[in-house]
Amino acid sequence: MDQFAATATADHLWRPYTQMLTAPPPLRARATQGCTITLEDGRRLTDGIASWWTACHGYNHPHIRDAVSDQLARMPHVMFGGLTHEPAERLAGRLAALLPSDLDHVFLAESGSVAVEVAMKMAAQYWLNQGVRTRRRFMAFQGGYHGDTFATMAVCDPEEGMHALYKGLLADQLIAPLPSDPSSAAAFDDLLARHARTLAGILVEPLVQGAGGMLFHDPSMLRHLRRAADAHGLPLIFDEIFTGFGRTGTMFACEAAGVVPDIVTLSKALTGGTMALSAAIARTHIFEAFLSDDPARALMHGPTYMANPLACAAANASLDLFEAEPRLAQIASIGAQMARGLQPCRGLRGVRDVRVMGAVGVVELDRIHDLNALNAAFVARGVWVRPFRNIVYLTPAFTITEGELAQLTEAVVDVLARASGEQLTSELIPVRRVKL
Ligand SMILES: Cc1ncc(COP(=O)(O)O)c(C=O)c1O
């Protein structure tokens, strides 16, 4: 019994992106409801992050909870090899109907990184199945983030992806600057032309590069990428793990650009922040490259918990909420309120930029001197905001009330105003790889 008690303490947990020797102990969460996280000691924090951008309907939404408990009573899990089930079939049909054009072929996995790996495998094997063995690399972009597994680290921004740390272990991918104007677009076209024959595909986070620094780009850039990919017959992969499900103002970022990618990845808000689930969704010409009399041309992937029925039930319930409740209108109001509420940050010393897209609000600083002190200042204000590197950002649930959002934006303004006065400079803590 004592042994079990011991293993329940945080001491045995190896925490994410955390220097276990020096990091302050994490806060203990006891319960979540709506946009509130209640801590073990009774403190209540208004959540500005929606648990890494997942809890888009707020926490513990009764409709998702009921769907998951119904499914739990019926069939929590069943293997997906050789078997199928209604929650997965319904979800796949609904995703195909929501996504544009013939993005109709849905592969379900359990994490964002794995969905990106599957998308890369789809693109690579698309060529292999046609007998082309020379297309082994991917083009991805500076500032990009696609996950922490080995294949995905290699397509992240070189800093973020820890290319230097894992030199020799990561595949050598082509990481380009994202074109932003006619001259960088021309440079991009040249680079692509030089490497296109060795490439299996192009991978990008559309509209917002999230964990790489909440960097926004214009939809016209995505149209440029589409044209460039078409010119070389390359599959274009949109990683919508962050941007999907309304975050940037339309249901999917690709809609805002009027671009149909060849493969899309989704996760994060797919289950409304309740269960681990992801998807890689391909257009018909990609899918058809896998159809053959030869079993070896099948997509060789199958995570044990793929299409988990509980997660599919949660995702279906989350989609019900997008249908039944005015999420896109809520996102537009959140964006307008964040733009007003964060505006005072513009005048503060050390603030480089303030930007808002959809329900993403960003204050970019010259630098953050003491991330731990900043985190503590937010908690003392009763809010949960997780700055990273030089970025303070808000990605709240779409159901957040005006009052709660005002509490968040006021906390950001106040804490940064005080920080710009006092510099929160006690010491410079070098947190290179703190994601969020
Ligand atoms: C755009 C994007 N792709 C992929 C991932 C990786 O997802 P996961 O952490 O579920 O593996 C993330 C996570 O932040 C992401 O933002």
Could you tell me the CATH number of the domain that includes residue 399?
3.90.1150.10
Residue 7 in any domain: the answer is no
Residue 183 in any domain: the answer is yes
Sequence-ordered list of residues with C-beta below 8 angstroms from that of 233, at least 6 positions apart, any chain: none
Please tell me whether the overall predicted TM-score, pTM, comes out greater than 0.75 for this model: yes
Q: Give 160 Cα–ligand 1 centroid separation in angstroms.
A: 12
**Residues 196 and 302 reside in one and the same domain:** yes
Q: Which residues of the chain have pLDDT under 50?
A: 1-8, 424-436
**Residues 87 and 109 reside in one and the same domain:** yes
* 146 CB near ligand 1 (under 6 Å): yes
**Residues 185 and 219 reside in one and the same domain:** yes
Closest atom of ligand 1 relative to the 265 alpha carbon = 3
Residue 206 in any domain: the answer is yes
The pLDDT of residue 213: 96
Closest atom of ligand 1 relative to the 116 alpha carbon = 4
Closest atom of ligand 1 relative to the 267 alpha carbon = 10
| Protein residue closest via CA to atom 16 of ligand 1 | 242
Torsion sign, CA atoms 43, 44, 49, 50: positive
Among 275, 291, 324, give the residue marking a domain's end.
324
The pLDDT of residue 161: 78
Angstrom distance (rounded) from CA 111 to CA 145: 14
Q: How far is CA 39 from the centre of its chain?
A: 25
| Protein residue closest via CA to atom 7 of ligand 1 | 112
Q: Give 407 Cα–ligand 1 centroid separation in angstroms.
A: 28
Angstrom distance (rounded) from CA 78 to CA 72: 11
Task: For a ligand 1 pocket test, name from 241, 247, 263, 395 the mutation site with the most ligand atoms within 8 angstroms of its C-beta.
Answer: 241
Closest atom of ligand 1 relative to the 435 alpha carbon = 14
**Residues 123 and 248 reside in one and the same domain:** yes
**Residues 256 and 204 reside in one and the same domain:** yes
Write the DSSP symbol of residue 218.
Answer: -
Residue 52 in any domain: the answer is no
Q: Give 283 Cα–ligand 1 centroid separation in angstroms.
A: 22
Residue 10 in any domain: the answer is no
Tens of pLDDT along 318-373? 999 999 999 999 999 999 999 999 999 999 999 999 999 999 999 999 999 999 99
* 209 CB near ligand 1 (under 6 Å): no
**Residues 79 and 212 reside in one and the same domain:** yes
Residue 351 in any domain: the answer is yes
Extended strands (E) in 154-249: 174-176, 199-204, 208-209, 215-216, 236-239
The pLDDT of residue 410: 98
Exposure letters 259-280 (e unless 16+ CB within 10 A, then b): bbbbbbbbbbbbbbbbbbbbbb
Angstrom distance (rounded) from CA 242 to CA 99: 16
The pLDDT of residue 36: 98
**Residues 81 and 221 reside in one and the same domain:** yes
Q: Give 74 Cα–ligand 1 centroid separation in angstroms.
A: 30
Residue 281 is encoded by which pair of tokens?
């969704």
Closest atom of ligand 1 relative to the 144 alpha carbon = 1
Residue 205's domain is classified under what CATH number? 3.40.640.10
Angstrom distance (rounded) from CA 331 to CA 400: 10
* 143 CB near ligand 1 (under 6 Å): no
**Residues 255 and 217 reside in one and the same domain:** yes
The pLDDT of residue 435: 43
For residue 61, give the 3-state DSSP assignment: coil
Q: What is the CA angle 242-245-246, rounded to 5?
A: 95
The pLDDT of residue 9: 54
Is residue 237 within 8 Å of residue 282, measured between CB atoms?
no
**Residues 280 and 133 reside in one and the same domain:** yes
| Protein residue closest via CA to atom 3 of ligand 1 | 146
Q: Give 411 Cα–ligand 1 centroid separation in angstroms.
A: 27
Among 302, 324, 346, give the residue marking a domain's end.
324
Q: Residue 291's domain spans which residues?
A: 63-324
Catalytic residue annotation? 17, 145, 239, 268
Residue 239 bridge partners (DSSP) = 265
Among 306, 324, 342, give the residue marking a domain's end.
324
Residue 85 is encoded by which pair of tokens?
């089930």
**Residues 76 and 217 reside in one and the same domain:** yes
Residue 406 in any domain: the answer is yes
* 211 CB near ligand 1 (under 6 Å): yes
The pLDDT of residue 159: 84
**Residues 365 and 396 reside in one and the same domain:** yes
The pLDDT of residue 376: 96
Q: Give 6 Cα–ligand 1 centroid separation in angstroms.
A: 32
Task: For a ligand 1 pocket test, name from 49, 52, 113 the mutation site with the most ligand atoms within 8 angstroms of its C-beta.
Answer: 113
Is residue 356 within 8 Å of residue 18, measured between CB atoms?
no
Q: Give 241 Cα–ligand 1 centroid separation in angstroms.
A: 6
**Residues 258 and 277 reside in one and the same domain:** yes
Q: How many independent structural domains does the chain possess?
A: 2
* 271 CB near ligand 1 (under 6 Å): no
* 242 CB near ligand 1 (under 6 Å): yes
For residue 37, give the 3-state DSSP assignment: strand
Task: For a ligand 1 pocket test, name from 54, 138, 145 the mutation site with the most ligand atoms within 8 angstroms of its C-beta.
Answer: 145
Q: Give 39 Cα–ligand 1 centroid separation in angstroms.
A: 26
How many CA atoms lie within 13 Å of 50's alpha carbon, on the beta-carbon side? 29
* 125 CB near ligand 1 (under 6 Å): no
